[in-house]
Structure 1
Amino acid sequence: RKSLLGINHNLKKEQLKRVVPEEAIEDRLLMRYGLLSLLITVFLLITRDSIRKILPINMAMASLIPPFVLLSIKGRHPKLKEIIKEIDIETLLFLTGLFVIVGALEKTGVMRTVALSIKNFAKHPLGMAGVIFWGGAITSGVIDNVPEAISLGYVIRNLSSLLTYSFTLLIWAASLGLDIGGNFTPVGASANVVGYTFMESHHGKIGWGRWVKLTILPNLVALLVCIAGLFLKYIIGFY
């Protein structure tokens, strides 16, 4: 923490007071278009199941249509080449590869095999929730938690026909385990990958050892609190 604080030791309070965030916005119209594009993307992702009854739109199309429309309207930007150079291609390729692997595992039936291998726990709600929770927390430390969430989603879907209780319990178990477990390593979450890459390229080597050393204790405490809350909510009939 001291080393991170030392990075900006020459930055005075007077300098911070003179900073005007609005001045960083060079094209207000483009910013509005960008925010509108983001809102439309979120809307399409939320309502795509209803829209598919009218238009054959999938998740990929819902994510790509608004940005492509934005590019067609305001694609010519004076700093476009500079912006493209700043894109972290390595991170994008890394995340793309993970999604391809997850898709391949689902198409080849591996996810169904995993679901069947743990079906013996399905009769016991707390046992099943524990397997999903801790399994997700551990694996999301070495696999990005976004594709890992998709993987567990497929597993829960394959298990749903065997459950005698609400699958909401398993969804919460997966969500909490994956979200917090992803902080164990630099590659456990997309934000970690971006942040770790940025810090290493601008402020020197950090290393996995240092990251894990700083995150393991608070993450374990958070996981224990979450699993206790999850079990308590099930016992009192929340799910």
Structure 2
Amino acid sequence: MLLAQIFAVIIFLAMFTLIITEKYERQWVTLVCGGLTLLLVFAIGFGFSEKSLTATIETLNIKDVFTLGFWYTKNAHLSSKGIDWATIFFIAGMMVMVEGMARVGFFRWLCMRLAKAVNYKVIPVFIAFMLLSAVLSMFIDSITVILFLAAVTVELSFLLDFNPISMILAEIFCANLGGSSTMCGDPPNIIIGSKLGYTFMDFLCNTGIIALIGLIFTLAYFYFVCRKEYSTAGQHIDRRKFPRPESAITDKNGFVISCMIFACAIILLITHAQTHLSVATIGVFIAVITLITSGKHLAVIIKRVDYKTLLFFVGLFIVVGGLEQTGILELIARLIEMTSGGNPYILIAIIIWISAIASAFIDNIPFAATMIPVIQSLTVTSGIPLATMSWALSIGTDIGGSATPIGASANVVGTSVSAKSGHPISWARYCKVSVPATVMVIVISTIYIWVVYL
């Protein structure tokens, strides 16, 4: 067992290091490390024994896909170890839906419509786009939200003659904040929800309230930080020359269908605790409907799906499975318990702040996946409800990633769009604005969880 533990830790640390350095594409890093886990940890580390075979089967977790409980969750008893195929199926389905919506111009139309509604005034556009970023990220991947929102922000900056950097930074932060409020908003939440059996409404009624409080403070923070910069922008622009929002729609019939599919996805997610349809079922259903209604564009949508991210998840789950099967995660849980001295307030603070600090510099997806078995062990030894630690982990990983340009994928996308438009964002500029906002929301979240749950 000791040899297996050594291999598991080395592979995990190597994977994290390679992901951070970005020398290689991250999906190949996790897949190779996943393969090494199966070979070195399970085969050699466990000595080609029966335990080796059991660990491999539990980690690959393929058998669950072929059970009724995978698709219909009532009275389901699925393995919480290894590859979470429900998460992968759900994310794939949402990717297909988003590509279908992007093809018909839904996101561009929505941004232009909102800008027109506030008469293209910069401060109202600034506030409206922050709210739009938060709301959309509750249901759609924040990467997609920022990709389109930042692009429209840059276009408006040329028309209204303002610097888009501060607005893009605010949109990025609100996207990560909005994503923390629902199960489908951010990948860490999808993993936490599917692994631990929480629903869309569970997140909305818990992390959603924390995110709403945080959003109120965030809007006030960015307004006071940026009001001088944008207060006089665009005052002498002829707004009659602006393009009509309808010009963004490339396929009117497809636009209507995409809106209906999006509404269907939201309804299914909100009601899946009552219907007992798993997130895998919802994801597959939405993807199939999108592809059926896409007609001749089917091949284009399939081609644009982010398969690299899906492969990244597969390898990641295998590596984390190696830590779980060798008992490393239980050791980490004991260490956190010893550090807190059994004090529930300190324990919750450790989970939130370690998650936030770690997620500011490393990918929050593998961190969340790694911490789930840890908090499962902690709930047994500390007596704190698993749900309380789950909300702490969710908020920490989702919000902590906002602090630096590399903390979350949405950050990377937003800063890249800004740089391509001739407005590069330095680390100093990014952190000067986003670090105080991150600390503010994490402090608020910590106090809220202490008061409400402990």
Kindly indicate whether the alpha-carbon contact (under 8 Å) linking 1:106 and 1:154 is maintained by their aligned counterparts in 2.
no
Q: What is the CA–CA distance in structure 1 between the aligned matches of 2:332 and 2:240, rounded to whole Å?
A: 53
Cα drift, residue 139 of structure 1: 1.0
Cα drift, residue 135 of structure 1: 0.7
Q: What is the CA–CA distance in structure 1 between the aligned matches of 2:398 and 2:289, rounded to whole Å?
A: 32
Kindly indicate whether the alpha-carbon contact (under 8 Å) linking 1:141 and 1:183 is maintained by their aligned counterparts in 2.
yes
Root-mean-square deviation (Å):
3.7
Q: What is the CA–CA distance in structure 2 between the aligned matches of 1:209 and 1:100, rounded to whole Å?
A: 35
Q: What is the CA–CA distance in structure 2 between the aligned matches of 1:116 and 1:24, rounded to whole Å?
A: 55
Matched with 1:217 is 436
Matched with 1:35 is 259
SS in 1 for 2:403: coil
Of 317, 342, 345, the match for 1:126: 345
Q: What is the CA–CA distance in structure 2 between the aligned matches of 1:45 and 1:153, rounded to whole Å?
A: 22
Matched with 2:317 is 103
Q: Which amino acid aligns with 1:118?
A: I
> Which segments of 5 or more consecutive residues in structure 1 lack a partner in the other structure?
none
Of 372, 377, 395, the match for 1:176: 395
Q: What is the CA–CA distance in structure 2 between the aligned matches of 1:204 and 1:50, rounded to whole Å?
A: 48
- Kindly tell me: are residues 196 and 60 of structure 1, through their superposed partners in 2, closer, same or farther at Cα, counting changes over 3 Å? farther
Matched with 1:63 is 283
SS in 2 for 1:33: helix
Of 115, 126, 132, the match for 2:333: 115
State percent identity of aligned pairs: 26
Matched with 2:358 is 139
User: What is the CA deviation profile of residues 55-83 of structure 1, one whole-angstrom value per residue up to 9, with x for unaligned ones?
Assistant: xx7645532441233123214249x86x8
Deviates more, 1:41-50 or 1:116-125: 41-50
Of 235, 247, 253, the match for 1:23: 247
SS in 2 for 1:203: coil
User: What is the CA deviation profile of residues 134-179 of structure 1, one whole-angstrom value per residue up to 9, with x for unaligned ones?
Assistant: 1110111123334544443333223332232333332232233223
Query: How many correspondences in the alignment?
Result: 222
Of 284, 287, 292, the match for 1:72: 292
Q: What is the CA–CA distance in structure 2 between the aligned matches of 1:203 and 1:118, rounded to whole Å?
A: 46
Kindly indicate whether the alpha-carbon contact (under 8 Å) linking 2:405 and 2:427 is maintained by their aligned counterparts in 1.
yes
Q: Which amino acid aligns with 2:336?
A: I
Q: Which amino acid aligns with 1:161?
A: V
Cα drift, residue 32 of structure 1: 2.8
Q: What is the CA–CA distance in structure 1 between the aligned matches of 2:157 and 2:374, rounded to whole Å?
A: 46
